[in-house]
Amino acid sequence: MKMNRAEMNCRSEVVNERHADGSLSPSSLLLRPTTGDNDGSQWASDRRKRRATARTRRVRVDRQTERLRSAPDVDPSSGRCSSMAGGQDESLCSPLPAASAYQEAQTWQQQQRRLNKPIDATMDSATVTPPCEGANPGINGGQPDQPKPPIRRDLGSRSRSAEAMGTPSLDGSSHGKSRRILPSLRRISTTPLKPRRRSSSESSESSCPSAPTAPKQPARPSPLRSAAVAAARKTRRLFGAKSNDISPENERRIRANDTAYNSQFNYSDNYIQTSKYTLLSFVPVNLLEQFQRLANFYFLCLLVLQFIPFISSLTPVTTAVPLIGVLLLTAIKDAYDDFQRHRSDSQVNNRKSHVLLNGKSVEERWHKVQVGDIIRMENDQFIAADLLLLTTSEPNGLCYIETAELDGETNLKCRQCLMETAEMGQDEARIGGFDGEIVCEPPNNHLNKFEGRLTWKGKQYSLDNEKILLRGCVLRNTQWCYGVVIFAGRDTKLMQNSGKTKFKRTSIDRLLNFIILGIVFFLLSMCLFCTIACGVWETVTGQYFRSYLPWDPLIPAEPPAAGSTVIALLIFFSYAIVLNTVVPISLYVSVEVIRLAQSFLINWDQQMYYEKSQTPAKARTTTLNEELGQIEYIFSDKTGTLTQNIMSFNKCSIGGTCYGDVFDANNGEVIEPNENTKTVDFSFNPLHEQTFKFYDQTLVDSNREQDPTCHEFFRLLALCHTVMPDEKNGKLEYQAQSPDEGALVSAARNFGFVFKARTPDSVTIEVMGKTEVYELLCILDFNNVRKRMSVILRGPNGKIRLYCKGADSIVYDHLQSGNDDIKNKTQEHLNKFAGEGLRTLCLAIRDVDEAYFEDWKERHHEASVSLKSREERLDKLYEEIEQNLTLLGATAIEDKLQDGVPQTIANLAIAGIKIWVLTGDKQETAINIGYSCQLLTDEMVDIFIVDGQNVEDVELQLIKCRESLRGYARSQVQTALSGISDRGYSSSIGGEMEDMACGPGLTGIDEDNNTGYALVINGHSLVYALQTKLEKLFLDVGTQCKAVICCRVTPLQKAMVVDLVKKYKQAVTLSIGDGANDVSMIKTAHIGVGISGQEGMQAVLASDYSIAQFRYLERLLLVHGRWSYLRMAKFLRYFFYKNFAFTLCHFWFAFFCGFSAQTVFDPMFISVYNLFYTSLPVLALGIFDQDVNDVNSLKYPKLYTPGHLNLLFNKEEFFRSAVHGCLTSCVLFFIPYGAYFDGASHQGHTTSDHQLIGSVVATILVVVVTVQIALDTAYWTVFNHITIWGSLVWYFALQYFYNFVIGGSYVGSLTKAMGEATFWFTLVLSIVIVMIPVVAWRFYFFDVHPTLADRVRFKQRLPRIRPRKSQDFARTPSARRSRQSLRSGYAFAHQEGFGKLITSGKIMRKTVLNFGSKASSNNAANNNSGSVHNVSTGGGLASVADQSDGPVSGIFYHPMGDDDRSAQPSTRQSHNGSSVQPRPSAVAYARTGINSSRPRLQDPYAITVDLESGGEPALPNTMST
């Protein structure tokens, strides 16, 4: 219903309306006093006029104010309602909001005056008057600077809070039950105003704005309401419901120490619940989840059917036993997992904290903490909720926290409170009286961002993330601190970030669902056939035998056709029950058990244990193991993943002069330093570090000679940073946000510019033994957009100077004009450094005028306290002052490769895995790291560089790349065909090797396996390449290249690239990284691998598998992944085989029992066949089996390739297993049937009865499937022997126990059969008929068409064969040489530093960051250049290369008459300018005496056969591991 006009006029309202630009309209505040003013009619008239002119606007009516305006008058003498004498309820008495209205009107008038806008006549001072004596101050108590509570969108929560306050409804009534809300108000709910009930003493005082108000006392809700709320929440938790389900907030308002005010907003309490079940909800919820699986629900339906007597020929036990067993095992697993969650939740919720109540500290459990409470925390305690820091024990309001539970970072971080609140110290009386109001952002998951405002004592203070302590952090090195709760429970940022992880399913899981669905249709087809056959049999034959086989009374006797039809329809359900075992109910449980065991094997692998950090490999999930054996694409981060992320100052450029190169004393050439190279002596500096090494003495000499440019260079390194100094054991140590900054400050220290100390407003350094103190004016901190940082300092001479360091591409854009010589030389040095794989950084300075800085500083302060567009405004100010810089030079830092990275990448490439590197580093740095780690090689035909600045350029470059790739592919196909035509060899062990267990698609040249090119694309061009128009073109080019490097990419772009390959290639992807910026791609890929590196543990926490070093990825995939896939494939093939062999025996028996749904087996045998008789052998196969050992799995990476095409288990393999099982069941039934047909024993007893033949068929079935799994087992362990042979013993023992002890219906049948020779003859004959074809088939393929696995296993089993020595196809990295570079790289922190911390008075006096031991020496990075083809230039090959040494892994070819230049082998230029032609490839297969002048394609993985020496096979050349 709508509110009539009379109602609207008889109540006062607040109508908030805004113009399109956001300013308040003159009609936004329309007040009509409730005390009977003479101006009331004028107000109503004005309101009607304004409403007529604003019909299209959305009007927000404050329902709470509406109720307050309709409240009775207050007697100023007693403070009670004047209507109390009339017997009305006291809850109707509400304070009047005149002061709040006056405040709003005055605020609007001030805004209009600032904007020079006319003020409406209705809003002048005559209309809106301040409340004076006798008026109620309302919520604000007459304070004009008190802001309103927030506008809430949740009407339900408002109505609940209104009920709690006892305020009247719109119709003037007051009651505790839910009220009907006017429909018009359901859409326009606004700010609920919480009145503060005044005492009688307050009522007698003046309520004018200038009058002082009595201090507020902390208040708790009434005990009755608190008990009711607690009981409701406990009830919801008992049944597993989430508490406090409220709508999202626009903003959050909190009053410290005022629970009554905060409770109206229904904020979440501090109780957390990560568990899924409770004691009452576990059974129904868990059963509901389990029956969502198709197989479980299917068997439940069958169980119900079996309780119908005239349908089922089996007792319900046959289905109930396996179903209950599966449900029980799964329920136990789920209960255990949830029990662990309950224990964790209980441990957290019952932690103790100290809450201030009425100025006193009271111990409370965490789950009782509420928003607005002030709590005290002590050293080494977890923080209970998200808090605004108020005061601490440390100077300047500092405290130190460890955020390992949030982001995995173990280094301490610093927070600082406002200096105004820090003055309260630990005076709990003052802290208990703190009544500040906080307005902040609503709950969100941004860990590093917070925006808010504190209003206290008439002043406003800006709040940011540096003043917030988050739940999950641990207080360190701080005796105590106090904070007010802002977010509690599930609203905390920790819980907001603990959302559900995307459930990942393997390709085998998806295939299994399809297969199960197909099996169900196959089952229905058999049932339909049996239904039709039964109807025919009953009509033709059965009706004449009703005297012996009477029909059920429900079946109509006449006409017979009708009865036959009814019987046939019922038989459909009967056979659905009898043949139900064709759908494997125990399959899912068996798969989970195998996966769990495989996960333990990964965790226990000592060869993936990193002893230096004592970090083992860990499978963090148990559902993706076999997917590790099917990886086609690896997406890898560079820094910290391929490299060590341990930085060392290597070289620098100062004033156009390059320092750091080491020259050979004999010929003057640049050489790579080694262990014998003499290092610079820094003993003149008492504060130098023993581990620091530098090899160029000229820089030390220039520095000691007081070179002003060198001094300014190192002075910048010592001043421009956010590093924190600390003294530990009498030694000066630094704690940095990134290894880059730590390396630069350390370098300045060793060269005599020692960073000693810092305070909130100063930085102290020691320059050649002399102390210099600089006044810190401002820090312009680093972020990923600015890619630079600056500090503004006032030096000892009183001048203000800005010091800046950052990416060369950014710093060069901010340099002043002139000094082109230094710029050009520095750019050459930057290119040289980047070409050597170093991380570079540019340094620059600027002198700042005093007057300009004061003006800039004032604007900076205004922007820093702004709640809107704060970051954007600050960035503009930073950009303004960081102009006209003077270039000083550049630094070069080395980030060494991890051990074993080149060999790992080379082996993974041989295995057919494409590797894409996604890094934030610059192009040249990424390219040279690619060469160092063998991702790029000198033997590549070309390296495409895509760096277009718009869509058209990127599209043109990608098209050129695609055309070159197609020309190269055509040339490779022609070369391959010519090579194949020349082959004519044969061997006794095996024939062709093209398939190598890889099937079609790998025999020739496949566009997805091209090895001739590499693609490099930067982040700017990638933005266009990932657009819908170009994404398929980019994917087509990238997937045809051997390697792809995406540089300068953001975390979001990393995830988009991974998702692109998943979407269109339908390939299994793996992402690996070590930092927080890798989390997105780790979660996007099918499998995420985290490396516990220098950048924290966030990547590990988000990963599916974690390892300590990149080199362990080789073993994880080539050994464990391959084994897991092989085992799962063999397990599934055998599982379906044995189930089909078992179930279809009933189908064959149907032809001899009139399709009456009679079973051939004992019902108990049907129940326990999959659980007891055949389960353990197949589990042992799925856990322990292996075709070749781990050494050969690594030695021959090509063994991994079958997983790419799902060759070991697919629809075809399932069909083969099903047909095999069908044929086996046919033999198992008809051989005994023929043997026992009209049979008799020697005593003349008949042996052709149903029970005897059923026992014989069951026994032969168990023996045959056991022999089959013994034949399938390639690796025998003790467990295999026990489970395989023990299952036979267990079968006979259980049969005798059930039949003779329990008294089964088939008692004596098996004993009688085994006493006759016919049984043993039938058993042997059945085994021979079933097994001989299988053995012959396998022997034929092993001898004629052996796979690579067969050959390796043959070598493994025959030690007499002399293994051929492996040749190292990975070229050893040579000394670093310069490589032509287009742009330079840079290195910097991946996250913001301590800038805000320092400038706000933050200093980490107690924190220490141990950078660990010195990085182990590594091989020199490979710097032999391949051809780098920049597509944008449209030119030829720009290359500087030397001849490679030793065998190479690339495929060389000769042109076959194709004129396409892209298909020609590249001609490289040597250092002396001579042309070096590519060498012809060796011939893999050769017959002695045949001379062929035509080149043939080399196959390095095929087995070569020396025919003259007797044809002794030798295994293929492989990568050295």
Active-site amino acid positions = 637
Rounded CA separation 69/46 (Å): 18
Tokens matching residue 928: 């040279």
Q: Which residue type sits at 1454?
A: H
Distances 410 to 404, 448, 640, 1353 between C-alpha atoms, Å: 5, 16, 16, 47
949 Cβ contact partners less than 8 Å away, ≥ 6 residues apart: 1020, 1021
H or E element that contains 1289: helix 1278-1296
CA distance 1157 to 577: 9
What are the Cα distances from residue 1298, in Å, to 88, 148, 625, 1142, 1289?
82, 79, 39, 20, 14
- Cα maximum dimension of the chain: 126
Asked whether the beta carbons of 751 and 705 are under 8 A apart, the reply is no
Sign of CA pseudo-dihedral 818, 821, 824, 828: negative
| CA–CA–CA angle 29, 35, 39 (5° rounding) | 60
Q: How far apart are CA 1230 and CA 1228, in angstroms?
A: 6
* DSSP code per residue over 677-730: SPPP--TT-TT--TT-----HHHHHHHHTT-HHHHHHHHHHHHSS--EEEEETT
Q: Is the dihedral of CA 1206, 1208, 1212, 1214 positive or negative?
A: negative
| Strand, coil or helix: 1494 | coil
| Residues 1158, 314 contacting (CB under 8 angstroms) | no
Main-chain dihedrals φ then ψ at residue 1093, nearest 5 degrees: -115, -150
Give the Cα separation of 714 and 125 in Å (integer). 65
Please report the DSSP string for 322-382 in residue order. Answer: HHHHHHHHHHHHHHHHHHHHHHHHHHHHT-EEEEEETTEEEEEEGGG--TT-EEEEETTPB
Q: How many helices (H) and strands (E) does the chain have?
A: 46, 42
Cβ-count burial of 57 within 10 angstroms (0-12 exposed, 13-18 middle, 19+ buried)?
middle
CA dihedral 720, 723, 725, 726 (to 10 degrees): 180
515 Cβ neighbours under 8 A, 6+ residues apart: 1136, 1211, 1214
Tell me which H or E stretch contains 527.
Answer: helix 507-540
What is the Cα–Cα distance from 980 to 842, expressed in whole angstroms? 56
Residue 364 pairs in a beta bridge with: 353
| Bond preceding residue 559 cis, omega within 30 of 0 | yes
Length of the chain: 1521
Question: 572 and 588 in contact (C-beta within 8 Å)?
Answer: no
Which DSSP symbol is given to 1172? I
Measure the CA–CA gap between 923 and 1252, rounded to whole angstroms: 78
Residue 213 · residue 99 · CB < 8 Å = no
How far apart are the C-alpha atoms of 1120 and 618, rounded to whole Å? 12
Helix axes 1211-1236, 1317-1344, angle to 10 degrees: 150
Torsion of CA 89, 134, 141, 217, to 10 degrees: -60
Burial class of residue 1483 in the structure, from the number of CB atoms within 10 Å of its CB (0-12 exposed, 13-18 middle, 19+ buried): middle
